[in-house]
A and B are shown apart, each in its own frame.
Chain A
């Protein structure tokens, strides 16, 4: 180890120190800016912070193990490299000591990283992502989503609260939901696989033709958010985006009333081909 310190201090530090110090300083100063600019948008759903904290946990654990691995690689490189009168040699790590070391590292990595993340992730999935509110939950807001090349068709129940009725609000690439009520999706597709992605809500779920998938979120913030397709679905995949409007509690009933009135005005009882509601899947 002494040899290592002397080695480093002798030559390399001089040309490494300045850029390293600059990099560290600038990283520390602008970390928040980088996160604000390039990082995820702040979570806008009730369960969003859970997934963000899982993400941070994974990033931290992987970051720490990356540093450990980096040190373990650098130390032998610097300590055992070729010098005058000494030839570097390659070691296959076949000795009992090496095998034990590998085994211990593997077990530690598995327990610390994989098991920890797995347990946390399973908890989040069970308690949040898969914990879809039952259809009879009071205040539940049902949305049927019919994906297609290349658009999102949304159907919301309107003032009567029932799907498949003439006052259903049908929109393309635009969805308006209330804040503070669980929004439950039934998703399917007309043609190929799409994926409903609400990045601000931390929700992503595939829409498969021939199957109905279920997903949910509850908005914690009002405002306009992105709706994206997260599954490459053909030429215009990149155009397949929409807007999610989360309305405050005070505004939503008035909006829903007007939307339903206009839906009724647009309803053509004889146009059977225009129907696409299905039996709600729990």
Chain B
């Protein structure tokens, strides 16, 4: 007897259920198409490989650059308990066993850092031995957290990297846009940790919640991807922390900083690539001719940024283009501090260090630190006043376009 109502329910459901399937069955067709594509492809393209198709274990220890000979000297002097100066520390020999040269240098009492000779470059630099176990740990975490975009082997072309602009970094190149260490330098571990912890706004590079230990392992693995003679295997490379632009000279005069920033921004011709944020007439007033830009010779439409083609960031061999941000429209990548607040310091550091391979030069050295700070304040002011505020921005643009 109890079975009867159950039967009723089942029968009623069976009558109604086909109604569910009819309107929403586009997935079924798509699924078939997906299967067909899979069968017709004999070999998977690089971005389609699955993690299990990659050997996670790193078999060899890696010697990774700590610093070049000269820069390391300064670091070692600062830590006399760990490093002692030894005359004739390294005497590299050629194939026949004859001593080629003699190098004085610092010996690490912990034994991790060594002065090593590179026969190709015929020069020495300080390298640190990173164990294969540590690199394997780094590779495991890398596959877990990074590989979907940066590729299983660090080539910047993972499964999810397709069509992404800007493209994810190819770690074999050893160039990074927002480590803020200067365009010619390699970033220190701490600079890379900072970048990963803060993320890059407006891209899928989020602030990642890895532990510091995991992160440092991943960073060692990323460094070990440098091919011979380049990146962290290049004896001439200089590893640096964020560029030093000194103390904030504008603490008590933010308005003064913004006003000075407006002048510097337009005088040195930032509007050659980024938009100009004052009228052409005002630009004429500002430009002195000494900032590197000639009076009167400006781009046609200063309200739009100008694309930089042919940058050093490649996707499958093609050098991609980069649109410099319009600060009133785009989100900037690395303008926030660890607390997530828009920071004049961070913006000024980006300006000071430049953005490697993108067309943004290193301004540190080309203008006083005080002016770099002023640009930081000015850009922060632009973002705070106009970004995400359509009406305020429309009013500014209408003014710049002469009422159009």
Contacts and interface: CB of A to CB of B under 8 A. Distances in A.
A150 B326 contact: no
Contact of A149 (B6, B16, B160, B202): B160
B163 A270 contact: no
A214 B162 contact: no
Interface stretch (B113-121, B128-136, B224-232, B315-323): B315-323
Contacts, number: 142
Contacts of A281: 26
Interface residues of B, number: 55
A118 B16 contact: yes
Contacts of B326: 262
B316 A106 contact: no
B323 A262 contact: yes
Contacts of A151: 160, 203-204
Contact of B27 (A213, A239, A251): A213
Interface string B274-312: 000000000000000000000000000000111101000
B1 interface: yes
Interface string A256-270: 001001100111101
Interface stretch (A24-32, A70-78, A272-280): A272-280
Given A211-B30, A212-B30, A268 B309 contact: yes
A269 B117 CA distance: 47
A102 B3 CA distance: 10
B385 interface: no
Contact of A102 (B2, B12, B318, B394): B2
B33 A258 contact: no
Contacts of B19: 122
Nearest to B28: A211
A115 interface: yes
Interface in A119-174: 122, 125-126, 130, 146, 148-151, 153, 170, 172-173
A228 interface: no
A212 B8 CA distance: 37
Contact of B160 (A148, A267, A270): A148
B321 A191 contact: no
Contact of B320 (A208, A210, A251, A274): A274
Contact of B30 (A191, A208, A258, A265): A208
A270 B304 CA distance: 21
A88 interface: no
A114 B315 CA distance: 54
B1 A96 contact: yes
A126 B23 contact: yes
Nearest to A208: B27
Contact of A235 (B35, B145, B320, B323): B145
Contact of B202 (A172, A208, A266): A172
Interface in A179-213: 190-191, 206, 208-213
B53 interface: no
Given A118-B16, A271-B321, A172 B1 contact: no
Interface in A98-122: 99-100, 102-103, 106-107, 110, 114-115, 118, 122
3 residue pairs, one from A and one from B, having the closest CB atoms = A211-B30, A210-B34, A106-B5
Interface of B: 1-2, 4-6, 8-9, 12, 16, 19, 23-24, 26-27, 29-31, 33-35, 37, 144-145, 148-149, 159-160, 162-165, 202-204, 206, 208, 304-307, 309, 315-316, 318, 320-321, 323, 326, 329-330, 390-391, 393-394, 397
Interface of A: 96, 99-100, 102-103, 106-107, 110, 114-115, 118, 122, 125-126, 130, 146, 148-151, 153, 170, 172-173, 190-191, 206, 208-214, 234-236, 239, 247, 251, 254-255, 258, 261-262, 265-268, 270-276, 281
Given A130-B24, A258-B329, A273-B318, 11 more contacts: A99-B1, A102-B5, A107-B8, A110-B8, A146-B163, A148-B204, A149-B149, A190-B159, A266-B321, A268-B309, A268-B320
29 contacts: A110-B9, A110-B12, A115-B12, A150-B148, A172-B202, A173-B204, A208-B30, A210-B31, A211-B29, A212-B26, A213-B26, A213-B27, A235-B144, A235-B145, A247-B390, A251-B390, A255-B390, A262-B305, A262-B330, A266-B323, A268-B309, A268-B320, A268-B321, A270-B318, A271-B165, A271-B318, A271-B320, A272-B318, A273-B316
